[in-house]
Structure 1
Amino acid sequence: MIGRITGTLLEKNPPQITVDAGGIGYEIDVPMSTFYNLPAAGERVSLHTHLVVREDAHLLFGFLTEDERAMFRQLLKISGVGARTALAILSGLSVGEISQAVVMQDAGRLVKIPGIGKKTAERLLLELKDRLPKVQLSGAAKVGAGVTAPDATSDILNALLALGYNEREALGAMKQLPPDAGVSDGIRQALKLLSKA
């Protein structure tokens, strides 16, 4: 398995790049999240990689961060999701946004990605829920980036579930919270919303 490549970035033709490492030019497919953050051609680059071996091809995928590669690998484990679909998901959403969608069970975000239908989105959310490490869910998105911080989100959700609300009620209330709601504030506001329902 080729786990990492460091070398000179020769070409950039989205979604593929070519990296010269030790005199060998590796063609690597990258998600747009990685592509946008690459240095200029001719500069040094280091990528975490994942090799997919098929009967008709050996395909190399590259990622600037370990989190992106870890998410790519989790997506590949889901039935019906191939490498191209996983790449499209990571091109459409950041790791933090995917984690956020999983915590909120928000299929709406995923169906906006070309090639992802409602059924696939729901299956992704369901299967990723148990597979995403808690660490990734807790630090994935930034507060104020239009979504409640995932650590606050999961704490609020767990508190509401512990108080006897079902998941649908809890998630419904959480969608109405302001993006920068903290844990205690979020629980208080969610309880107010639920008591009016």
Structure 2
Amino acid sequence: MIGKLKGLIDSFGDDHVLVDVGGVCYEAFCSAKTLQSLPRVGEAAVLFIETIVREDMIRLFGFASEAEKAWFNVLMTVQGVGARVALAILSVLTPSELSSAIALQDKAMVGRANGVGPKLALRIVSELKSKVPALGAAEAGVLGLQTALGAGVAGGNVADAVSALTNLGYSSAQASAAVARVVAQEGDGTATERLIRLGLKELSA
């Protein structure tokens, strides 16, 4: 079983890379974020590998980090999520952002990936919410928000406020930290609009 590839970048495809390891080129399918992080053709690279064996094929999937590889495997435990959809999710969300989206039950954030409709996004955040702490990749702002809430999952109003702030261009860590400070002062029952308004005030302070 191949766990890691260390070699030279041979060439890139739309969704894969060829890595030359001692004269043997391995084709590894990757998320867009991993492909963007790799060096140029001819330069040395390292990929963490997950091998999927089917009756009609053997396919390698490459990841820039062990965290991304771990999330790939966890995502595929959800019904309706195969390798293609898992890579699509990891193409738009980093492991940390994905952890944050699930911790906050932000199905809209997960739904940004190609091939992920509202029902599947809801299933993903619902089924994986207990696995975020084990993977340990949630951003500090989200952990602070969970502490302020006194629970592991944010309510709809809180998640909507964080989502709105990220849509305005703030990172999920910044948005979560700002909303956490508001929740600590105002309570978790505060209306979404007020959370957004006060969150913006925190971010501009």
Same fold, judged at TM 0.5 (above): yes
Residue 79 of structure 1 is matched in structure 2 by 79
How far apart are the structure 2 equivalents of 1:45 and 1:128?
Answer: 31
Q: Does 1:153 align with 2:145?
A: yes
The alpha-carbon deviation at position 49 of structure 1 amounts to 0.6
Of residues 184-193 and 6-15 in structure 1, the stretch that sits farther from structure 2 once superposed is 184-193
Task: Judge conservation of contact 2:18–2:28 (CA < 8 Å) in 1.
Answer: yes
The alpha-carbon deviation at position 184 of structure 1 amounts to 5.8
Using the size of structure 1 for normalisation, the TM-score is 0.81
SS in 2 for 1:105: coil
Runs of 5+ unmatched residues, structure 2: 166-174, 195-205
Percent identity between the two aligned chains: 32
Aligned length: 180
1:7-54 per-position Cα deviation (integer Å, ceiling 9, x unaligned) = 011001121100011221000001011111110100000111100101
Of residues 104-113 and 35-44 in structure 1, the stretch that sits farther from structure 2 once superposed is 104-113
SS in 2 for 1:28: strand
Matches within 5 A, 1:42-191: 42-134=42-134, 136-137=136-137, 140-141=138-139, 149-157=141-149, 159=150, 161=151, 170-173=155-158, 175-176=160-161, 179=175, 180-181=177-178, 186-191=183-188
How far apart are the structure 2 equivalents of 1:86 and 1:94?
Answer: 12
Taking a change above 3 Å as real, the CA distance of residues 135 and 61 of structure 1, as seen in their structure-2 partners, is closer
The alpha-carbon deviation at position 183 of structure 1 amounts to 5.1
How far apart are the structure 2 equivalents of 1:40 and 1:186?
Answer: 45
Residue 38 of structure 1 is matched in structure 2 by 38
Give the superposed CA RMSD.
2.5
Residue 203 of structure 2 is matched in structure 1 by none
How far apart are the structure 2 equivalents of 1:111 and 1:174?
Answer: 14
Taking a change above 3 Å as real, the CA distance of residues 102 and 22 of structure 1, as seen in their structure-2 partners, is same
Residue 145 of structure 1 is matched in structure 2 by none
SS in 2 for 1:122: helix
